[in-house]
């Protein structure tokens, strides 16, 4: 089994202190391609929040010292066995596709403090590995919008047709997703203007330990393009907030 060391993205969100740690990520060959961010490994400061993101089936965090960890999916990595199409997963998740246009991912959430729901929109990007050995399989990852990358009239009409208007207070373009260790922080704007606001959703309870295992639960749905039926598999794209409590090396095994 081939093991590849990859650097990870780090989001530093606390004051600097003297103790440091370094994270390394090791990816073992999975049954289907997985996806994680690629950034340089950097020293980690004790008591500081670091965010690592990725979609895989299992994550094992190993350290010589106790670490604090929370997690929450922000969206899903999508595997398609056929061409892109409109996909209704539930009254919470949709893929909206205009033929010849760009595919959109819509996720219905209830921000902290809201009694209503918001529909968050991401643009979908093809992240299929160029060396993939899985024939006819493509991978799509939700990406945030640039601030002035607005939804077009045709895209809005498609959103109304596929998602409807009764499930959400409004549609919002997501321009960034971050974490402070306890919440996911979505910076969002209206679909046709730029007026930024923040939506929060709670992350999991804090897990403490030297070895922490987290599993992911993918699911599959059928969708049609013309008269042909295909399968779409959704693997949660997890945000992990990691807080080292002392100088240590943290190893993350992912498969």
pLDDT at residue 194, as a whole number:
87
pLDDT at 56 over 80: yes
pLDDT at 251 over 70: yes
Mean pLDDT of 222-250: 92
What average pLDDT is seen over the chain?
Answer: 85
> pTM for this one?
0.85
Exposure string (b/e) for 130-163, b if CB count within 10 Å is 16 or more?
A: eeeeeeebbbbbbebbeeeebbeeebeebbeebb
Residue ranges making up the domain that contains 60? 3-254
Question: pLDDT tens for residues 154-201?
Answer: 999 999 999 998 899 999 999 999 999 999 999 999 988 888 999 999
Q: 9 falls in which pLDDT band (50, 70, 90)?
A: very low
pLDDT at 22 over 70: no
Closest CA to 73 of 242, 200, 255, 239: 239
Q: How many structural domains comprise the chain? A: 1
pLDDT at residue 89, as a whole number:
93
246 against 104, higher pLDDT: 104
Q: What share of the chain is helix, strand, coil (3-state, %, to 5)?
A: 5, 55, 40
pLDDT at residue 166, as a whole number:
87
Question: pLDDT tens for residues 60-118?
Answer: 998 888 899 999 999 999 999 999 999 999 999 999 998 767 999 999 999 999 999 99
pLDDT at 29 over 60: no
């Amino acid at each position: 089994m081939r093991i590849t060391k990859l650097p990870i993205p780090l989001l530093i969100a606390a004051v600097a202190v003297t103790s440091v740690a370094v994270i390394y990520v090791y990816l073992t060959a999975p049954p289907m391609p997985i996806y994680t961010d690629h950034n340089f490994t950097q020293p980690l400061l004790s008591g500081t929040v670091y965010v690592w993101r990725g979609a895989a089936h299992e994550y094992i965090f190993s350290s010589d010292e106790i670490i604090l960890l929370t997690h929450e999916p922000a969206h899903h990595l999508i595997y398609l066995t056929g061409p892109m199409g409109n996909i209704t997963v539930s009254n919470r998740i949709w893929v909206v596709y205009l033929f010849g246009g760009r595919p959109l991912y819509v996720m219905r959430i209830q921000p902290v403090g809201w009694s209503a729901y918001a529909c968050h929109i991401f643009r979908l990007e093809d992240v299929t590995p160029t060396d993939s050995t899985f024939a006819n399989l493509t991978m799509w990852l939700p990406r945030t919008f640039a601030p002035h990358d607005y939804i077009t009239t045709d895209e809005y009409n498609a959103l109304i047709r596929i998602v409807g208007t009764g499930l959400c207070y409004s549609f919002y373009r997501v321009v960034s997703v971050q974490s402070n260790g306890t919440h996911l922080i979505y910076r969002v704007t209206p679909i046709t203007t730029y007026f930024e606001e923040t939506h929060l959703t709670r992350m999991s309870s804090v897990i403490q330990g030297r070895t922490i295992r987290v599993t992911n639960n993918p699911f599959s749905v059928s969708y049609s393009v013309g008269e042909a039926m295909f399968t779409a598999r959704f693997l949660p794209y997890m945000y992990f907030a990691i807080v080292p409590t002392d100088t240590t090396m943290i190893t993350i095994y992912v498969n």
